[in-house]
Amino acid sequence: MAKTAILFPGQGSQTPQMRELVARVRPDLLELVAGMVGEDPFPRAGDGTDFAQPAIFCASLAGWEELGRPSAELMAGHSLGELAALVAAGALDERDGLALVVLRGRLMERAGRIAGEGGMVAVLGDGASERAGEIAQAHGLTVANDNSPQQVVLSGARSRLGDAAEHARRLGLRAMQLDVTGAFHSPMMASALPEFERALERVEFRKPRATVVSAVTARPFADPRRELADALTMPVRWRETLLALRDLGAERFVDVGPGRVLSGLAKRTLRDVELVNA
């Protein structure tokens, strides 16, 4: 039987209109996030992960709310979107989820400063997912985001990104250094782990109403505390996650986040599926 999968995006999906959506649909969530962050995070969503992640989390839940909280057999989130997916599936209390996102954003921003000189480069074009590993290995980088067959993001020391980009171009691919504050989803985020792991131990996880697929393992969540912690330093296997959702029967994919990042990646990865945007 055909199933629906709801997708919750991660950083990089922010739009200028997302605050308006949250204010209209979930004004209570807007008030709550401002209190937890210490200010309204939306005007500063472009300043760093400490503002972007809480804003995107709230906008994704507001997008889901605007659609009427559609029920679905399957859910998944890209990076921080995993926390929104777990909240929507009933596995995690919304306030706890938001508190974890606020902490996560702060810790990742701080980890970027501690590690210093970290960055990311996107490798684009047909065959990117097949060649990205050899580029990363040749330049001491990490495959951070395997987003689609045509888009992979590498993470590591900023001083090595230029050579990696040139390597990609020699292979007939395109490359673009990203405007980010750290080498996310790489070992350079390790300093964020201890405090985040302690926070995860303090919250309750329940059995979800839907199957939530982890983007770290590309399998249904088995140990959310471990998998959410691992997501800080391990790759986002989004291409494999989409394929796993399809193997589990998903034929309709609903992107509830701001922008259309995940529906675009699904279009490049899957064939003969229905794509819906909030």
Mutual angle of helices 18-25 and 27-37, in 10-degree steps: 120
> What CA–CA distance (Å, rounded) separates 234 from 226?
12
**Distant-in-sequence, close-in-space partners of 134: CB < 8 Å, separation ≥ 6:** none
Q: How far is CA 97 from CA 29, 78, 104, 105, 256, in A?
A: 12, 15, 10, 12, 17
- Amino acid at the residue 70: P
Annotation marks residue 139 as catalytic: no
> Which residues, listed in sequence order, are joined to residue 146 by a DSSP beta bridge?
152
Cα dihedral 28→31→34→36 (10° resolution):
-70
Out of 13, 79, 186, 263, which one is annotated catalytic? 79
**Distant-in-sequence, close-in-space partners of 190: CB < 8 Å, separation ≥ 6:** 111, 233
Out of 78, 139, 167, 185, which one is annotated catalytic? 185
Residues belonging to the active site: 79, 185
